[in-house]
Structure 1
Amino acid sequence: MFSGLSAFPLTPMNESGIDEAAFVRLVKRLVDANVDSIGALGSTGSYAYLTRAERARVAQLAVEHAGNVPVMVGISALRTRDVLTLAEDAQKAGASAVLLAPMSYQKLSTEEVFELYKTVTSSLSVPLCVYDNPGTTHFEFSDELYGRIAQLPNVRSIKIPGVPTDPEAAKAHVARLRALIPSHVTLGVSGDALAAMGLNAGCEAWYSVIGGLFPRTALAITRAALAGDAQAATRLSERLQPLWALFGQHGGSLRVVAAAAELRGLVEHPTLPLPLKALDGAADRQRLAVLLDELELA
């Protein structure tokens, strides 16, 4: 399950709770599109804003409605104790894998992060994907730390935060990481604008935000790259450049994707936990609506 397109859906919610019907609709869209796996409760799923009970419920809903598509569930939390509890909940829900980022308030040291993964992986009965997301955790993995963690039991994939924008530099980056980790551990690219570059450079998976909302578009890029058609994958990604630019203008993909889901009628407004807000200016939303139509994202 750690190859191909792993689609990360929103967790639609308001201040009253999770919109379970909307979440199920999003999951079913992914199943209908035949994605390779579903990543519930990643950053796109707003895991850090949910209670333990809410996270357990989202995990249950994802597994229940995913059919034969494997589900990976995020278990990140500030304390190791809570990570272990969330891992138990995810496994009880039937998750096929878990996703763990070194979430923190106090900046973590390299050894603290290694010990986190060592403790968690030693008690798991399902595989784990390492989640490197410095934009939210403010922790930067070294290549050497990737290599150490990849040797731990149950580690099966590393979600890296993008690759260099030069194709040759991207290939060298992936090759350097590949030399440090066992062959059974895959490399997955995130940062949607760099997905085609990462896949063309040798990453086996794309852990995708846009894939959680518009899976067929993301699948086309993924399938082309993994079939060895780098030109087609690049062309399909470059077509989405206006969307990638919009992500950059609004501090990342979450606010834009949430607004896109609202505009397409897939979720109710509001759909993010306060104080987060989807794009709410009339001009920004109109621009996004026009862009969705131009790019035929539905």
Structure 2
Amino acid sequence: MRKNLLVYGVLIVIFGIGISLILEVGSRLHPGQKFPYKRLVPAQGTTPALLPQQAETAAGHPLNGLLDNLHHPLSILLLQVIVIIMAARVFGYLFQKIGQPAVMGEIVAGILLGPSFLGMLSPGMEAFLFPEASMGALKLLSQIGVILFMFVVGFELNLQDLRQKAHAAVLVSHVSIVVPFFLGGAFALFTYRFLAEANVSFTAFALFIGIAMSVTALPVLARIIEERGLSKSYLGSTAIACAAVDDVTAWCLLAVVVAIAKVSGLNG
């Protein structure tokens, strides 16, 4: 136990010094510069691929009523759910065939349906499937799904085992945070000038990037553990405990980032 604490302390000191040096160097950088390369962005002012007005031009077409109904909020939500479930199932199945967790395929499906792929290739289709006005209902539905899934995961965990692993979970989770946090801060040195707003300090920007790089997504990890049948094993429960500690640490660090950003905005 003392050896673990010693290693933990040494890592914290080393990476703390490294992050301090990164913040010192980054404080001399100035945001607002342009990337040295041209970024790919969807064309501005694009319209959906198929609008009700366009459908009505074909008089007597049997799809006119259907297309009109598709622009009802409930119809759009149902269409989004169908498309998302089908894409998630297909890519989850394909990833399972190559020995990867299904959740990885579902993440890839989300990327392909989002602005990074579909929005770039066909902005009109993306605007038709996922209009801005419908995103609130879709996000609410997704949050309900995450809550129900985490309830099922928590139902299978043994709270007594988690208490016994609390000390080890804190050590493991914090050690697993400091390395990617340091790398995220180093990455901020190269991206601060191009991505940060003019009124955002380097400290807040670097801390935010570090948090984003270092925190494990608890629902994703829980899904992988559940798929592998490790929910009731020592490894699975320890991993869940570590991810929970990661989330608590992330929220604490995020509160610091918000405070720093507000102070920077007031001073700016």
Q: TM-score, normalised by structure 2?
A: 0.25
Q: Which has the higher strand share?
A: 1
Q: Which has the higher helix share?
A: 2
